[in-house]
Amino acid sequence: MSVRENIELLRRSVPENVKIVAVSKFHPVEQIREAYDDGQRIFGESRVQELVAKQAVLPDDIEWHFIGTLQRNKVKYIAPFIRLIHSLDSESLMSEIDKRAVENNRIIPCLLQIHIAREITKSGFAPQESTDFLAGGRWRNYPHVQLSGVMGMATLTDDAEQIRSEFRLLKSLFDEWKQKYFADEPAFSEISMGMSDDYSIAVEEGSTMIRVGTMIFGKR
């Protein structure tokens, strides 16, 4: 099936209010253009150099999301245009994003990446660590970073109930923090969870944004 056909199939399988981030990392510009021509506007990349190169040659109305581990020394390259950073996983990174946002006269939306999987290789705040971080209030010292929700990756497993429980944990954390800290902040609204193999479970558990690459573009 073509990229266009894959996107159409995916759109029919998720509610209209769930945003689709087409994970275009390692895929050529030509495939991104094909998805763009079918109306896809949100694309996710995980390597800064690749993202910057693609952003320079593709249409300006693309909404670029950064979904990989972000090194502090690379923030400056994407700060002028990035629409959402999914992988805010430390206060030091938050400080750097705030600094670069100021330089570009921007407020940069970010998601708190929460480590919900059993795999130690996954990145992100541990749930208790993130709870303590928000309770401590230091995040308010970075006004040019807009906390817009949470992101998490489930364990790579065939156990659907384990995946479901991890997504359910992320949703419960989002609900708790929304009530405690962001009740008056409409921007704190996104739950980025679910990829090609588990997005249907994620949607059932409250995802507002899925990150899908293989299902759209095929294997790299």
% of residues, the chain, pLDDT over 70: 98
CA 20 to CA 66: how far, in whole Å? 14
**Token digits for 220?**
């790299």
Contact status, residue 61 vs residue 41, Cβ threshold 8 Å: yes
Q: Does residue 28 register a pLDDT over 80?
A: yes
Q: How is the chain split into domains, by residue range?
A: 3-217
| Average pLDDT of span 22-43 | 96
pLDDT of residue 122: 67
**Token digits for 26?**
């390692």
Contact status, residue 192 vs residue 150, Cβ threshold 8 Å: yes
Residues 6 or more apart whose Cβ sits within 8 Å of residue 217: 3, 6, 22, 23, 24, 27, 31, 35
Contact status, residue 65 vs residue 42, Cβ threshold 8 Å: yes
pLDDT of residue 1: 84
| Average pLDDT of span 68-74 | 97
Higher pLDDT, 122 or 146: 146
**Backbone dihedral angles phi then psi of residue 150, each to the nearest 5 degrees:** -135, 160
pLDDT of residue 150: 98
Sequence letter at residue 15? P
Q: What is the pTM of this model?
A: 0.96
CA 154 to CA 117: how far, in whole Å? 5
Pick 3-217's CATH classification: 3.40.30.10, 3.40.640.10, 3.40.50.720, 3.20.20.10.
3.20.20.10
Q: Does residue 121 register a pLDDT over 70?
A: no
